Amino acid sequence: MSIFSKCRLLLVLTIGAIFLTGCMNQPTPEEKIYEVLENVVAKEKTFEEQQDPLVNLEKKEKELYDKIIALGMKEFDEITKLSDEASSIVDQRKDHMEKEQKSIQASKEEFETLLPIIEEIEDKKLQEKSKGLYEIMMERYKIHDDLYKDYTEALEYDKELYAMFKKEDLSLEQLEEQISKINGMYENILESNKQFNEKTKEYNKAKLAFYKEAGLEIKSED
């Protein structure tokens, strides 16, 4: 499984008239929240689009790494060539990760507009559900921030590794130390990724529960 196998936000579609009480031209707080939450899904489209490219790049880089490790120092020219290719892939992974982070940040900025709307909800039970939903999502954003930080640092370590492979006087001790640093970072990333997936599932469940409590007729699409 790729490092970046992530859950995505559920799309939910209205299938009928909602909250017809009150002024026809004045949206209710519930309607406003619905609109914001669906805008959040749209903001994360770019995030979704980065997943397959990242998976493919990770696989290609792993193949190059395995080839480098299998070669002896007598084939130094080939090691140098493969290291350059792998380093280029690291740069591509970084570009995709930057796009992903920007998408998540845009999603966060949209989501944060919920706070004043939540205070407008008159039903206290429904208001509590919306506050719980807000807290879950903000925790999800925090996890991704940590994941992004660690992933960016891991990419720098990867770049350093491929530069080291191009040094003929590279010692086994230096190589093992660098690989140990890289492995430690990716262990953190895998754990954060797991937490991110779990929090996304929790958010989706809370979101549907809010819609149900609010009386919205919806259907979900995976």
Dig out the tokens for 198 from the structure: 């779990």
Among the residue ranges 5-9, 14-18, 58-62, 89-93, the one predicted with the least confidence is 14-18
Q: What is the pTM of this model?
A: 0.86
User: What is the number of domains present in the chain?
Assistant: 1
Q: Does residue 17 form part of some domain?
A: no
Among the residue ranges 6-15, 20-29, 144-153, the one predicted with the least confidence is 6-15
- Only one residue has tokens 């130390």, namely 177
Q: Is pLDDT at 3 greater than 50 in this prediction? A: yes
Q: Does residue 2 form part of some domain?
A: no
Backbone angles phi, psi at 24, to 5 degrees: -65, -30
Domain that holds residue 54: 29-214
Band the pLDDT of 43: cuts 50, 70, 90. Answer: very high
Q: Does residue 3 form part of some domain?
A: no
Q: What is the pLDDT of residue 16?
A: 37
Backbone angles phi, psi at 8, to 5 degrees: -115, 160
CA distance 222 to 209: 16
CATH number of the domain encompassing residue 105:
1.20.120.570
Q: Is pLDDT at 25 greater than 90 in this prediction? A: no
Q: Does residue 38 form part of some domain?
A: yes
Q: What is the pLDDT of residues 95-121, one digit of tens each?
A: 999 999 999 999 999 999 999 999 999
What is the average per-residue pLDDT within 56-83? 94
CA distance 5 to 48: 10
Q: What is the pLDDT of residue 73?
A: 73
Q: Does residue 58 form part of some domain?
A: yes
In this structure, the strands spanning 11-14 and 218-221 are antiparallel
CA distance 119 to 36: 15
Among candidates 103, 191, 180, 189, which has minimal Cα distance to 153? Answer: 189
